Amino acid sequence: MGFQDTPEEWPVTATETPFRGNKTSVRTDDVEMPDGTIARRDYQVHPGSVAVLALDDEDRVLVLRQYRHPVRHKLWEIPAGLLDVPGENPLHAAQRELYEEAYVKAEDWRVLTDVYTTPGGCDEAVRIFLARNISEADGERFAVSEEEADMEQARVPLRELVRGALAGDLHNNCLVVGALALAAVLAGDGADSLRPAEAPWPARPFEA
């Protein structure tokens, strides 16, 4: 087995969904604990997400600055978005998000890491990709609206993102995890050692 997370599911004696939104919902489960007691757990049900750490030939990362109302901040982030369709291929979703948010395409794709963002209160799973050999996309630009209409774009050296994350200046989950993961990879076995872009993802199974 090695040192790894393992699937496990404790019995659910009752469940309800007190809230349903456009993309997510809130579920309440009564869960049987190992000692036989029942504990009520409320959590957000999420379709899953993808994020893209796009690295150019100068080792700069493509980042976006966007207003996030729940935390009342403009955050620097990497391109990301929801898995809109159950069973959607995450690579295709990541390519779509990179095009729509940054008008960029990439020739080389790898899985950088997979994470659960807030497993104590949400079942969201995120696959973060590394995209290399990037260039301007083809075709018409995607029409943006709402918060995305105010979005800024920049390319920042990876070392600056790592420094900002450790200094507490950058807070977006996917940006921080992605930058630190890539720094570790580049200091170790190199990006070519990463999993292929179509690697299995048990948290959100898909068809290749």
Q: Is 148 among the residues known to form the active site?
A: yes
Q: Which residues are within 8 A (CB) of 31 and not within 5 positions of it... i.e. 6 or more apart? A: 10, 11, 12, 13, 38, 39, 40, 41
Query: What interhelical angle do 158-167 and 173-187 show, nearest 10?
Result: 120
Q: Which of 100, 136, 148, 207 is catalytic?
A: 148
The pair of structure tokens assigned to 202 is 């048990």
| Owner of token pair 């921080």 | 176
- Short-list 93, 99, 167, 163, CA closest to 128: 93
The pair of structure tokens assigned to 92 is 């295709």
Question: Angle at Cα 204 formed by Cα 202 and Cα 205, nearest 5°?
Answer: 65
Q: What is the three-state SS of 91-129?
A: HHHHHHHHHHHHCEEEEEEEEEEEEECCCCCECCEEEEE
| Owner of token pair 């990876």 | 158
Q: Which residues are catalytic?
A: 148
